[in-house]
Amino acid sequence: MNNNFIVKIENLSLDFKGKKLFENLNFNILENKNTAILGTSGVGKSSLLRCIANLEIDNITNGKIVLKEDTKLAWLSQENSLYPWLSILDNVQLYHHLKGSKSAQTLQKAKVLLNQVNMTEHQNKKTYELSGGQKQRIALARTLMQDANLILMDEPFSALDAITKIQLQELTCELLKDKTVVLVTHDPQEAIKLANNIYILEENETRLKQVALLDGELPHKLSNEKLWTLQEELISHLRKSNK
């Protein structure tokens, strides 16, 4: 594999419940960059993410996905999937909790991560006492706990209010700046803020259409006039693909 790529998708075809989502799809994900995949509901964005995570084997009818050697991935989704019978610290250590590898070292790391996501003062609460934004902060800490270099994010901010969303977007950019991130979203503004490379997955298409390649530090500032123009272009693309 070309060293610039962390994921290489070759001639991938996927059927889901009798519907062909995409056929002979070719797509490469650049290492140490943030890639956003835009698309309307039901087009197959999340299914593509699940293919990368090796969770859609039964529905793949053709092609292959190759990850760069020593790639380790983690998943951050809209559903934070916290376990209510576990403490906050054990939720952060979930990977080690399930493997039976918790230790004084993993506990200390969990505490450091909770501090990084500004949740130290809430660490002794029950999960049902947390707000949606607080739960996503815990989920982010749990993602970081896995020491993955490829982070798959499936609309992790879509259920949050506007201010909480902005805060979590900024925090995620800060804490994942040395990772490769693939973000699935239906929100053009979010894609522009959080990604270097933006693609649109259109219904009945066999490729992802690259619509933007952005430089600069993340998150991008939407006060930039060019980015406002880009947002209108992305909305136009999505409207056309939703007809």
Please report the pLDDT score of residue 15 as a whole number. 86
Residues of the chain with pLDDT under 50: 2
Please report the pLDDT score of residue 242 as a whole number. 63
Please report the pLDDT score of residue 204 as a whole number. 64
CA 152 to chain centre: 4
| Threshold 0.75, pTM exceeds | yes
Tokens of 39: 């698309």
Chain length of the chain: 243
**Domain locations in the chain as residue ranges:** 84-147
Please report the pLDDT score of residue 69 as a whole number. 92
| Packing angle of the helix pair 162-175, 132-145 (nearest 10 deg) | 10
How many whole angstroms separate alpha carbon 148 and alpha carbon 145? 8
Please report the pLDDT score of residue 43 as a whole number. 85
Please report the pLDDT score of residue 206 as a whole number. 58
Whether residue 172 contacts residue 141, with contact meaning beta carbons closer than 8 Å, is answered with: no
How many whole angstroms separate alpha carbon 207 and alpha carbon 241? 13
